[in-house]
Structure 1
Amino acid sequence: MRMVYADQMVGCPREPDDMTLSSSDRHTADMPAHAALPRLAAPLLDEAICCAGRVAAAGEPDGGPNSAVDGNADSHADSNANADPELIHRYRVSLRQLRCLLWAYAPLLPAGMAHAWRTRLGTLADLAGPAREWAVLATELAPHFLPEDPARAQPLLRALEQQVARETAACRRAMRDAAPAAVLSSLRATLADWSAVQDRSPPLDAFARQRLRDAYRILRQRAARAAADADAEAVAKAAAQADTGTRTLHRTRIAIKRVHYLTVLFAPALARPAARRVKSLRRLQLHLGRANDTTVALMLLDPSAPRLCGRHLRRLVRGRLSCLNSRYEAQARRALARARKRLKP
């Protein structure tokens, strides 16, 4: 009999970027910050639990939840394949948003609590990392590096699709084994228990403004470092010192995401409308995301390429991806240089 997972038959509650307090909850802005935390975390927890359950259930054969391990993983991964990439992406985004929220609340939470839970959430996100990375490579980046000759392109495209299927099947099995819903339910209870015993904290609006200022300060520091890497001397130094410039861009991208997510989550508690700032942050995130995707793609292809294609095609693919990566990194640094003066709450 087929196991039914929670939320399998219904859609997940909201899209990740819409996860903020509704208009009916705007009075939460006047709450003490500690009282608002469970309410802010609730839609993120709901989203992560829902997406994890649907991903785990999607590839489950009729024989039961463990049959996929013994059967053909590729065939199981093909079922509901169209929904998998989006569900996996939403699962990872909701966990990133939770980690950002815990970062913001670290000064109020008991020492070490935010760090410990952020680490656990990072481990849960890693369950879906390879599946998401291969999906991006096969769908978003492949058109940029596939050979023009269909006879040469089709075998590589099929090999990439099979790799995505394998990673997706592995992701589903990992979801079943790790039981993210239990971990996330424990976090929900932990936050509720902590909030219930607190009797004093700053109002949410003042707390949100201060933590956004802190997040912007970190972002400005990292953006300045990343923009400096655009100098010829810095680029040469980065090339000689194991992609220092790429790591700097990645750290800046994480800081942009933190500011973006906190701006969305705290929007009802902020005096100024957040829509314009979110739009600007998304543009920056897009530039740095492209650079990161191509960097990850090159890392994925290095050990896997011999299995995916022949030597000559491998050289062509890597050359095109390397050129694309260089162009995207240059665009990202220019975008950061233009936006640096506007990076403030």
Structure 2
Amino acid sequence: MDMDADWPLPQPITLFKMNRRSTGSSLSKASSIASTFSSLAAPVVADAVQRAKELSTQSDAEGFHQLRVAFRKLRALYWAYSPYLGEEATAQATEEFKRLAALAGGTRDWDIAGDLLKAAQESRASIALLVAAAREKRAQAVEHSQTMIRSDEVETFLNDALLRAQTTLESSCNDLPIRAFAEERVRLAQRALQKRGRRAARSETASEENQTAHEENLHDVRKAGKKLRYLLEFFQPVIKGGHDRTIKDLMSVQNMLGQFNDIAASETLIRSASFNEVPPEVVQESLQWLEKQKGRRMRAASRRVRAIAS
């Protein structure tokens, strides 16, 4: 989607102050749906803008990762408020969040792949040349991310997007209480996670030819789990019951699914990349190692997903 064509960007504004307050710190059960949106979004936006500025001159792996996380949180928040934001506005904003997250994630992906290749090298897989090539790919990804993610444009887009959202919400749900709305959105996210968990559990027992489908289903469970976790973190101050244990459990499941996803994504990354200075047999050796590790981690992830499905 060409956001510049569909959504003209204004000159930068400073609607949101740059700080890193804990999200949800100013929420109360008496808050309205409209007012909670800015309370929740502002700290995430501030964090994203600050990290984008820092990464224009730095190449810290964790910085790229946290920038991607910030955009994922904004996608979850827009999904939560989509009944009042409208389908088109939600789709436009989340598409751009997804694009920016992908740009930030390129460096992170090569960091993960590089670490896995180093582990393979320690396991006597003779792939030193590929490890060096992965470092070069990582450097190229940093350059691409820094070129494409311009902090002033990110700040302008985010401020404009949230100003539009806030204006829409104030005109449609300014007096509606937050609690029932938040609880309903969390319930929907929980149902989506359980549904995807059941689908993944069924696909685990399918034939080997459908392994790709099972991998995709596990990835869907991971995304659904992240959305639920972010919503619980956002809305915990205003919804009934304590959810610290649920959040902790979700983090545990995500960690297991994340380990599998790191292997699967790295395998795809290496298969799709070209390594002119690396012999094909070395690349193949690394892919065989990754395939073996992927199977082991898939089995572990599938066991956790079965627990979700039940």
For Structure 1 versus Structure 2, the TM-score category normalised by the shorter chain is 0.7 to 0.9
Aligned residue for 1:332? 301
Q: How many pairs were matched up?
A: 294
Gaps of 5+ in 2: 1-11, 13-17
Answering whether residue 149 of structure 2 is matched by residue 175 of structure 1, we say yes
Describe how 1:205-224 pairs up with structure 2 within 5 A. 205-224=179-198
**3-state secondary structure, aligned to 1:101:** helix
Name the Cα RMSD after superposition.
2.3
Answering whether residue 255 of structure 2 is matched by residue 286 of structure 1, we say yes
Answering whether residue 68 of structure 2 is matched by residue 92 of structure 1, we say yes
TM-superposed deviation, 1:131: 1.5
- CA gap 1:133/1:33 in 2 versus in 1, 3 angstroms: same
Q: Distance in 1 between matches of 2:97 and 2:85?
A: 16
Moved more, 314-323 or 105-114: 105-114
**Alpha-carbon displacement from aligned partner over 1:50-102 (angstroms, at most 9, x marks no partner):** 1111112x1xxxxxxxxxxxxxxxxxxxxx44xx2111111110110010011
| Equivalent residues of 2:61, 2:108 under 8 A apart | yes
- CA gap 1:185/1:308 in 2 versus in 1, 3 angstroms: farther
Answering whether residue 49 of structure 2 is matched by residue 49 of structure 1, we say yes
Please report the TM-score for the alignment, with normalisation by the length of structure 2.
0.87
TM-superposed deviation, 1:176: 2.5
| Equivalent residues of 1:19, 1:44 under 8 A apart | no
**Alpha-carbon displacement from aligned partner over 1:286-319 (angstroms, at most 9, x marks no partner):** 1111121111111111133543632332222111
- CA gap 1:166/1:337 in 2 versus in 1, 3 angstroms: same
Aligned residue for 2:233? 264
TM-superposed deviation, 1:274: 2.0
Q: Distance in 2 between matches of 1:97 and 1:86?
A: 16
Of 12, 20, 23, 2:23 maps to 20
Describe how 1:168-207 pairs up with structure 2 within 5 A. 168-176=142-150, 179-198=153-172, 200=174, 202-207=176-181
| Equivalent residues of 2:44, 2:70 under 8 A apart | yes
Please report the TM-score for the alignment, with normalisation by the length of structure 1.
0.79
| Equivalent residues of 1:223, 1:252 under 8 A apart | yes
Aligned residue for 1:108? 84
Aligned residue for 2:288? 319
| Equivalent residues of 2:35, 2:174 under 8 A apart | no
**3-state secondary structure, aligned to 1:271:** coil
Q: Distance in 2 between matches of 1:326 and 1:201?
A: 52
| Equivalent residues of 2:179, 2:238 under 8 A apart | yes
- CA gap 1:201/1:332 in 2 versus in 1, 3 angstroms: farther
- CA gap 1:278/1:199 in 2 versus in 1, 3 angstroms: closer
Q: Distance in 2 between matches of 1:199 and 1:133?
A: 40
Aligned residue for 1:117? 93
| Equivalent residues of 1:44, 1:98 under 8 A apart | yes
TM-superposed deviation, 1:21: 1.5
| Equivalent residues of 2:193, 2:221 under 8 A apart | yes
**3-state secondary structure, aligned to 2:86:** coil
- CA gap 1:105/1:26 in 2 versus in 1, 3 angstroms: closer
Which amino acid in structure 2 is aligned with residue 93 of structure 1? V
Q: Distance in 1 between matches of 2:85 and 2:162?
A: 14
Of 210, 221, 230, 1:238 maps to 210
TM-superposed deviation, 1:42: 0.6
Gaps of 5+ in 1: 1-5, 7-11, 59-79
| Equivalent residues of 1:205, 1:269 under 8 A apart | yes
| Equivalent residues of 1:135, 1:164 under 8 A apart | yes
**3-state secondary structure, aligned to 1:248:** helix
Moved more, 162-171 or 298-307: 298-307
Q: Distance in 2 between matches of 1:202 and 1:221?
A: 30
